[in-house]
Amino acid sequence: MLSRLRKSLKSEKGFTLVELMVVVVIIGILVAIVLPQFMKQTDRARTSRAQAELQAMKTLIETWAMDDKNGKAKYPYTQAQLQAALNAGGIQWTNLSDPWGNAYSYYVDTSGKKKFILASNGPDGNAGTNDDIFVTESSAPSVGTYVTTGYTSYDSLPPQ
């Protein structure tokens, strides 16, 4: 009985190189299918996060405009006003970046200060492309391009 066991153990040699290569190819195919799907889901999550952050900032800006002492419900039109509006909700504009590590943009209309745009330049980091994420005083967060003609950017606003 012991000799039969020794014979059977000697006859088993393990996996051949071809069998190992087949397993590696199968694993490679599975990774090639799963990885792009995972990356798409990651991009969707980042887009959703940017939309939620923009909506939160919009709410704070609208609240600031309604509470503004001048009673004209104008949106922030100085850097200090925008920072005050967001600080009321615990958001620090100076350290704020979108899910891709780029700064958010704020624009206010040049005539009347009754309109604004808050935006993320999206995954590619470039303004004016179809992957931009933005919100206005009259719209929910959207993905697409936005027009800033007639608006002043945050960087161009007076400090006070």
What is the domain-level CATH number for residue 49? 3.30.700.10
- Let me know if residue 159 belongs to a domain: no
Digit-coded pLDDT (tens) for 61-110:
999 988 866 566 688 988 999 999 999 889 988 888 999 999 999 999 98
- Let me know if residue 125 belongs to a domain: yes
At residue 19 the predicted structure's pLDDT band, cuts being 50, 70 and 90, is: confident
- Let me know if residue 10 belongs to a domain: no
- Let me know if residue 12 belongs to a domain: no
- pTM here? 0.76
- Let me know if residue 128 belongs to a domain: yes
Q: What is the pLDDT of residue 106?
A: 94
Instruction: Identify which of 56, 62, 158, 67 has the alpha carbon closest to the alpha carbon of residue 115.
Output: 62
- Let me know if residue 133 belongs to a domain: yes
**Domains of the chain: total:** 1
- Let me know if residue 119 belongs to a domain: yes
Digit-coded pLDDT (tens) for 125-139:
999 899 999 999 999
More confident residue, 13 or 147: 147
Q: Which residue is associated with the tokens 């604004």?
A: 116
Digit-coded pLDDT (tens) for 21-75:
999 999 999 988 888 888 888 889 999 999 999 999 999 999 998 886 656 668 8
Q: Which uninterrupted H or E stretch holds 103?
A: none
Digit-coded pLDDT (tens) for 108-127:
998 877 899 999 999 999 99
Range of the domain at 121: 19-68+75-154
Q: Which residue is associated with the tokens 């969707």?
A: 44
- Biggest CA–CA distance in the chain, Å, is 100
